[in-house]
């Protein structure tokens, strides 16, 4: 066959090309038998690196009009040509087309280990990785980026180290959390895909007390409710609360209740004409945290009261009363 017509090569990605051509003017054989040979040569200083490995693909379809080649080396010059063949033999070559591939982002690094550096607050962890292998002429890695975020959090934290590092220390970790860790490499061409790993931090005692303690007296019973400690002070899942109601006179005995099953309230069948103090503490599987500030309850039995204890910015405590 004569040479394929209008042969051209274009980059479709930094390391991928597309070859296009038209059918040879003279097939000189049965039109349904034959195909094309594609030749690819890597060049160094304009000369082939290895001529013996120039034949790249065989296309057993004379009607084909394009061919794609990927996984070429970055920042490298290549020469492309092709010819047709039939039952009579190989045909004439096209002219040679040369093209230089672009740079590519790094390959994905491999996380080797994620290790806690102690089990007491403030928690720290070390992430170590294997640096990705660079292809010849691939741009060097400029930096590694590590993002880490606890389940339920919206904004990840980020650490960045230089391209020669193979580890980083994570700080600001909370206890009793599951963290997702993402590691990526970066060069002038862009970012690699991210390697992922998880870290489970140990559970600790809560650092914070229950918030917004309030009570109401309805139908002769006292119901006291509260909210969990601030999320960053729970140090794990809250599994129970210890609630203590103490009469202010000397006749009665204090009442302690352990509140479980995810509830955040307790009901007491007491003499609502008397005055009481109340406090509550949250607990994880590790142990209990601090009690809430003492709430003084001095109800008027003629009406239904609802009290809320709030901590003001000045850290003084005020009791707000709404009479229904």
Q: Are residues 81 and 172 in the same domain?
A: no
Nearest to 165 by CA among 145, 149, 148: 145
Write the pLDDT tens digit of every residue in 7-23.
Answer: 999 999 999 999 999 99
Q: Which residue has the tokens 């040569």?
A: 41
For residue 105, being part of any structural domain is answered with: no
Domain of 142 in residue numbering reads as 110-200
> CATH number for the domain including 313?
2.60.40.10
**Pick the residue with more confidence: 26 or 144?**
144
SS3 232: helix
Higher per-residue pLDDT: 318 or 137 = 137
Cα-Cα-Cα-Cα dihedral of 287, 291, 297, 303, to 10°?
Answer: -60
Strand ranges of the sheet holding 123-130, from the earlier edge strand across to the other edge: 110-116, 123-130, 167-173
Question: Of 162, 178, 200, which marks where a domain is finished?
Answer: 200
Check pLDDT > 60 for residue 104.
Answer: yes
Same structural domain, 219 and 161? no
What is residue 256's three-state secondary structure? strand
Q: Are residues 192 and 220 in the same domain?
A: no
> For residue 324, is pLDDT > 50?
no
Q: Is the pLDDT of residue 283 over 50?
A: yes
Answer yes or no: is pLDDT of 305 > 80. no
Domain boundary, last residue among 49, 79, 100: 100
- Average pLDDT (300-311) is 45
Question: Tokens standing for 36?
Answer: 């094309």
Mean pLDDT of 165-188: 97
**Do 42 and 131 fall within a single domain?**
no
DSSP conformation class of 176: T
pLDDT tops 70 at residue 81: yes
**Model pLDDT, residue 32:** 65
Mean pLDDT of the chain, nearest integer: 89
> Angle CA(210)–CA(213)–CA(215) in degrees, nearest 5?
150
pLDDT at 197: 98
Strand ranges (E), 49-122 = 55-59, 66-69, 77-86, 89-93, 97-100, 110-116
Name the pTM for this structure.
0.71
pLDDT of residue 304: 42
Choice among 25-29, 71-75, 221-225, 308-312 with the minimum mean pLDDT = 308-312
- Average the pLDDT over 291-306 and give the result: 72
pLDDT at position 55, please?
A: 79
* Tally of domains in the chain: 3
> Does the residue 307 lie in any domain?
yes
Q: Is residue 206 part of a domain?
A: no
Q: Is the pLDDT of residue 313 over 50?
A: no
Question: Quick check: is 205 in a domain?
Answer: no
Domain shared by 9 and 90, yes or no: yes
């Amino acid at each position: 066959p004569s040479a394929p017509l209008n042969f051209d090569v274009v980059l479709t990605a930094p390391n991928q090309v597309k070859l296009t051509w038209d059918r040879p003017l003279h097939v000189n054989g049965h039109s349904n038998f034959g195909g094309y040979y594609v030749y690819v040569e890597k060049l160094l200083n304009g000369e082939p690196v290895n001529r013996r490995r120039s034949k790249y693909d065989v296309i057993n379809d004379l009607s084909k009009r394009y061919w794609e080649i990927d996984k070429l080396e970055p920042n490298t010059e290549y020469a492309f040509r092709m010819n047709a063949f039939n039952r009579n033999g190989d045909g004439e070559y096209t002219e040679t087309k040369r093209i230089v591939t672009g740079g590519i982002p790094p390959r994905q690094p491999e996380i080797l280990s994620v290790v806690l550096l102690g089990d007491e607050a403030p928690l720290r962890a070390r992430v170590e990785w294997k640096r990705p292998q660079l292809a010849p002429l691939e741009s060097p890695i400029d930096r590694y980026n590590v993002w880490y975020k606890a389940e339920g959090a919206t904004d990840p934290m980020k650490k960045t180290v230089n391209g020669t590092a193979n580890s980083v220390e994570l700080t600001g970790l909370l206890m009793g959390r599951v963290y997702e860790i993402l590691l990526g490499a970066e060069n002038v061409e862009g970012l690699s895909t991210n390697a992922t790993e998880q870290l489970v931090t140990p559970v600790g005692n809560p650092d914070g007390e229950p918030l917004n303690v309030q009570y109401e007296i309805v139908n002769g019973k006292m119901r006291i409710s509260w909210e969990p400690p601030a999320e960053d002070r729970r140090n794990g899942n809250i599994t129970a609360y210890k609630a203590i109601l103490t009469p202010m006179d000397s006749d009665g005995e204090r009442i302690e209740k352990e509140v479980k099953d995810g509830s955040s309230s307790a009901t007491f069948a007491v003499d609502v004409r008397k005055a009481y103090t109340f406090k509550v503490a949250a607990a994880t599987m590790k142990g209990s945290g601090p009690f809430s500030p003492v709430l003084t309850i001095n109800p008027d039995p003629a009406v239904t009261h609802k009290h809320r204890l709030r901590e003001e910015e000045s850290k003084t405590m005020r009791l707000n009363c709404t009479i229904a």
